[in-house]
Amino acid sequence: MTPTTVLVTGGSGFIGGWCVLAALDSGHHVRTTVRDPAKGNRLRAQLHAAASFDDERLTIVLADLGDDAGWAEAVSGCDAVLHVASPTLRTTDLSEDEMIATARDGVLRVLRAARDHGVRRVVLTSASGAVVYGHPPQTEPFTEDDWSDVPIPSQPSVPRPSGRHVTAVPPYQKSKTLAERAAWEFVRSEGRGLELVAINPTAVLGPMLGNDDPPSLRTIRGMLAGALPVCPPFGTGWVDVRDVADLHLRAMTDPAAAGERFIATSGRSLRMVEIARVLRERLGDRAAKAPTRELPVFLAKALGVINPQLRALRPQLGLNLDSTSAKAQRLLGWRPRPVADSIVDTAESILAHTAS
């Protein structure tokens, strides 16, 4: 399948913007959705600042995941859809139930529109949060066969064995898990031949297209500003946003991707203190405020009672949420860049936008 017209939902977001840019760079005509016309104007300017392309190949349309209006027009004539848009951690006015409902219902709204208008394949931006949470601690990396242990509302919950220690699943990760589950069930029962691929990125780094504040970059922003005097004790995978966009394009066009999930991660998980170490080593005095120590787990959990940042991290404190992208590399030929380079590029971008 070689799409000529691609819809990218949520083009004003961090991942969405880079997916738009990757699709344009590959020669496609791109249509992207935003919820606010002002965001569309800003996105177009940011994309032109980042790359040279024929403006006629980019169309920006209004559509909201919470409303049916606009979606038929958005998908009409498209060969493929990259469904990137989802409520994020920056959305502070949504309760857990509202975040889950918005993510799940939005996925189904896009899938129905895609099916009804002849789209052949939808690539869904899920998350490693739909893979790595709710499990007992384990030594082997998580793979695409794993699912975060979130009860599915339509199914009875399975009681856990007494005394079994598992990681809790935070609201955002619940929303991504249940939205992806709903997407696979829809394609199985109502898709009528619609193909689905899921991309499950770990924590996403990389340069910003504009002066934005993606939640996944706040750790590095805080380290550079001296807002994190010590590092929280946990490790997770990291991946560059440009590589995530590249994986979306590969998943959109490669026949081998149909019906598959792909974890996007650059390699082994890194602890926060290792991220800080890279910043100090590669940026010198510009990263002089980056922390040098890691909080003990017991102290981090105790401080989480009064510290909102640590409280939000409690489900992963002390853990090493390691996963592997071997499947994407084997089936799709995907090759992520070294994570240290992504850390430096992220920091350089933050510093440049802070100075401007």
Q: Which residues of 279-303 are buried (b: 16+ CB within 10 A; e: fewer)?
A: bbeebeeebebbbeebbeeeebbee
The CATH number given to whatever domain includes residue 139 is 3.40.50.720
The answer to the question of residue 133 being in a domain is: yes
Report the domain count for the chain: 1
The answer to the question of residue 105 being in a domain is: yes
∠ CA 1-238-271, nearest 5°, is: 165
Alpha helices (runs of H) in 164-208, residue ranges in sequence order = 171-190
Phi first, then psi, for residue 220 (nearest 5°) are -70, -40
The answer to the question of residue 308 being in a domain is: no
The answer to the question of residue 45 being in a domain is: yes
The answer to the question of residue 29 being in a domain is: yes
Q: Which two tokens stand for residue 340?
A: 């240290």
The answer to the question of residue 272 being in a domain is: no
Per-residue model confidence as pLDDT tens digits over 223-275: 999 998 999 999 999 999 999 999 999 999 999 999 999 999 999 999 999 99
Helix (H, G, I), strand (E, B) or coil at 117: coil
The answer to the question of residue 146 being in a domain is: yes
For β-strands 261-264 and 195-201, DSSP reports them as parallel
Residues belonging to the active site: 176
Q: How confident is the model at residue 163, as a pLDDT? A: 36
Q: Amino acid identity, residue 197?
A: V
Per-residue model confidence as pLDDT tens digits over 73-121: 999 999 999 999 987 765 456 788 888 999 999 999 999 999 999 999 9
Residues 6+ apart with CB under 8 A from 215: 88, 89, 90
The answer to the question of residue 316 being in a domain is: no
Domain interval for residue 212: 5-216+237-266+322-338
Per-residue model confidence as pLDDT tens digits over 325-337: 999 999 999 999 9
Q: How confident is the model at residue 319, as a pLDDT? A: 85
Phi first, then psi, for residue 254 (nearest 5°) are -85, 125
- In angstroms, the Cα distances linking 52 to 10, 24, 47, 57, 100 are 21, 9, 8, 11, 38
